[in-house]
Amino acid sequence: MSDVRRRSESKGVARRVLSASVLPCGRLSVVPTALERAIDSLSDPHVALPDALRTLLVVSRRIGAEELTSWINAELDGYRGKVSLPTYREGIDLPVKLQFDSMGMSRSLTVHWAELPDELDLRLKKVPFRHPVAELVELSDGGQDPCIQLPVGWVSQYRELAANGKAPYYEYMTLDHAAIQIPRTYLKGALDRIKTTALDIALSLEDISPAVGTSGGPTVTDDPRLAQQVTINLTQLYADNATVAVGDHATVSNGLGAVSVTVGLGDMVGLLKEAVTGSSGSRV
């Protein structure tokens, strides 16, 4: 084969390679990295939250961040069994809607738990939301606030208290239905916190290295700072007002009169256990 022919074929190959990376207008096309796609998706109000979380899942899997992967999967699939819930998934003191009936007539009354007598089963004042994030999105976009029906035993107990004047009621009317009302604004607030946390994690990882999430890029094993950022962000989801210091001999304290516990770098399981259960330790 002559040198001219070889050079010609070589140029042909070069042109074919170049044409694959050049747009019709002549500008080079830039393929975004997995981390850039995650940041763009999480900051775009038109991208559905489940889809945006999946883009971050790609990054999480590639850097080996098991805790972050577990959190994203729990949000996408729902929190099953006795898995601890982040604080934003625990509805506390949600309004209670009461329906009183009599002679074909109905009247509704909305009360808060502070207005109800202590004799009632107040364990129901804390409602866990274990549903997949896609279901929460649908509920928040519905035409009315969703409700959770209270059990018949609760209604019966309320009737007895109302008969003795210990609970709010309408005269000559009987309580027939009771439900915990979940304001859509509450759900939207929880979804917004999920999205903001995920975006903050993605941006924090980008601050460490733009190569995060690329094939062959840094992992939590290569760069402990990645694990540190994940730990800090996720801990705040499980313990309100938490102050976290991450290091070889770091401690975490949670609010006024909290306990201080020693945690190791990357020890998310131990840290979350202390943050959620408040195990014994030295007082701060």
pLDDT at 272 over 70: no
131 falls within a domain: yes
Tell me, rounded to whole angstroms, the distance of Cα 270 from its chain centroid: 20
DSSP-assigned beta bridge partners for residue 127: 91
* Average pLDDT of the segment spanning 57-76: 96
- pLDDT, one tens digit per residue, over 124-178 is 788 899 999 999 999 999 989 999 999 999 999 999 999 999 999 999 999 999 9
Q: Where does the pLDDT of residue 238 fall: very low under 50, low under 70, confident under 90, or very high at 90 and above?
A: confident
Q: According to the model, what pLDDT value does residue 240 have?
A: 56
* Average pLDDT of the segment spanning 2-28: 43
Q: Where does the pLDDT of residue 25 fall: very low under 50, low under 70, confident under 90, or very high at 90 and above?
A: low
130 falls within a domain: yes
Q: How many domains does the chain have?
A: 1
* Contact predicate 180/94, CB 8 Å: yes
- pLDDT, one tens digit per residue, over 167-220 is 999 999 999 999 999 999 999 999 999 999 999 999 999 999 999 999 889 999
Range of the domain at 94: 88-186
198 falls within a domain: no
Q: According to the model, what pLDDT value does residue 97 have?
A: 95
Q: Whole-angstrom Cα distance, residue 110 to residue 142?
A: 20
215 falls within a domain: no
pTM tops 0.75, yes or no: no
DSSP string, 142-180: SSS--EEEPPHHHHHHHHHHHHTT-S---TT-EEEEEEE
Q: According to the model, what pLDDT value does residue 133 have?
A: 97
- pLDDT, one tens digit per residue, over 6-18 is 433 443 433 333 3
268 falls within a domain: no
Q: According to the model, what pLDDT value does residue 21 have?
A: 44
Average pLDDT, the chain: 80
- pLDDT, one tens digit per residue, over 48-60 is 999 999 999 999 9
75 falls within a domain: no
Q: According to the model, what pLDDT value does residue 271 have?
A: 41
Q: According to the model, what pLDDT value does residue 177 have?
A: 95
* Average pLDDT of the segment spanning 105-124: 87
114 falls within a domain: yes
5 falls within a domain: no
DSSP string, 95-150: -EEEEEEETTEEEEEEE-GGGS-TTS-GGGGEEE--S-HHHHHHHHTSSS--EEEP
- pLDDT, one tens digit per residue, over 218-232 is 999 999 999 999 998
